Amino acid sequence: MVKLMQKHEDGPSICVAGAGAIGLTLAARLMMGGYQVGVIARDEGVSFIKKNGLRLIDRDGCHHFKATVGLAADFSNADILFLCSKSHDLPELALSIQHLITPRTVAVPVVNGLPWWYFDGENGNWSGAQLRSADPDNVLKKIIPSPQVIGTTTIITAERLDRGSSTTFNPLQMTLGELDDRVTPKLGEVISILEKAGIATRVASRIRDAVWTKVVRNVISNPLTAITGATLRENFADEFLSDISSEMLHELLPVIKAYGASLEVDPSSILDQGKKMGDVKTSMLQDLERGQQLELATICDAVIELAQAKHISTPVIQAISNIAHYRNAKQQRITTSAAVIHQVTPYRAVDVPA
């Protein structure tokens, strides 16, 4: 049964920038919670959602919404801005939405891998080192003030069915925290909104520990499944693949320790949990199958960047990353030459402010 919904409620101005699997799922859940949400998409996505609406299929059925959707330029403000693009698209997206960011805007990047803000906020230092793999041209630090960022990690296994539809059947979970690990009113407001939307949330006592816990899950599954085509269950249940994932996990532990962080869970539990995720394709495998660029920069390259800075060897991670980079480059060449890759329209960007 399809439920057609359009709810209105006084509250903060909320925008979800990026209409991929996570962005569509998040926007739909927020609307189910009674919030008016602006969805920022590319030209093709805007046209599709305006015509067909936004649809979420989950364990409770099929939910259909009339969504407020447009290009970034069509929106004038955002009190809370969820950034849901692929990490390599984030600088371009940031350029297009910089006019939405005011001193009162709270930015919540919902992205994979190590974030560009990783070194900001610790010990009161808001001008930390640049993580080049995540933000090579320093665009994100220039546009999005780190004190206005809420760090987050997600456990959301969603798949985009078309330009306006997504599906998810596992519980939706998000961990959030201020970059300086304080508990603040703006953090409380974001958590309240997400919980009303039916997303389980918790406050991280140390947001970087939460980030590394998610990064470990990404690193030991995403590039490997992109190479093999395995689902999460297959990857962690197969004796050969699970052995590789285990080796990658153990290479990560000294890197995490070197940066003063720790995992929030026992490392072995991460491997066990992977088996329970079911026959779900990782986002990286989905991207490869669609001929889209893989999120290797923040998931693999950033980890290797930090490891090398501390002179820590990660040979298995490096090898798997190299193969995934090869698969990515080959797939991009094939789909481009065959003219079957979808030609995306860039977000309408403007220059970075000096």
Pair 251, 198: CB distance under 8 Å: no
User: How does pLDDT run across 105-133, given as a tens digit for each residue?
Assistant: 999 999 999 999 999 998 889 999 999 99
pLDDT tens profile 34-91: 999 999 999 999 999 999 999 999 988 999 999 999 999 999 999 999 999 999 999 9
Would you place residue 350 in the very low, low, confident or very high pLDDT band (cuts 50, 70, 90)?
very low
Q: In what order do the strands lie in the sheet with 2-5?
A: 2-5, 61-65, 54-58, 165-168, 158-162
Q: Is pLDDT at 352 greater than 70 in this prediction? A: no
Per-residue pLDDT, 169: 85
Q: What φ, ψ does residue 21 adopt, rounded to 5°?
A: -60, -45
Lowest mean pLDDT among 62-71, 238-247, 291-300, 335-344: 335-344
pTM metric for this prediction: 0.88
Predicted confidence (pLDDT) per residue in 148-168, tens digit: 999 999 988 788 999 999 999
Is the predicted pLDDT of residue 351 greater than 60, yes or no?
Answer: no
196-217: per-residue pLDDT in tens? 999 999 999 999 999 999 999 9
Distance CA 220, CA 248 (A): 6
Distance CA 252, CA 208 (A): 14
Give the C-alpha separation, 55 to 66, whole Å: 9
CATH number of the domain located at residue range(s) 212-337 in this protein:
1.10.1040.10
Percent over 70 (pLDDT), the chain: 92
Which part of the chain has CATH 1.10.1040.10?
212-337
Flag whether pLDDT at 241 surpasses 90. yes
Question: Which residue intervals of the chain bear CATH 3.40.50.720?
Answer: 2-205
Structure tokens belonging to residue 87: 């990490």
**Angle (CA) 203 76 348, round 5°:** 95
d(CA 170, CA 94): 30
Say if strands 106-109 and 80-83 run parallel, antiparallel, or are unpaired. parallel
Instruction: Tell me which architecture the domain covering 2-205 has in CATH.
Output: 3-Layer(aba) Sandwich (3.40)
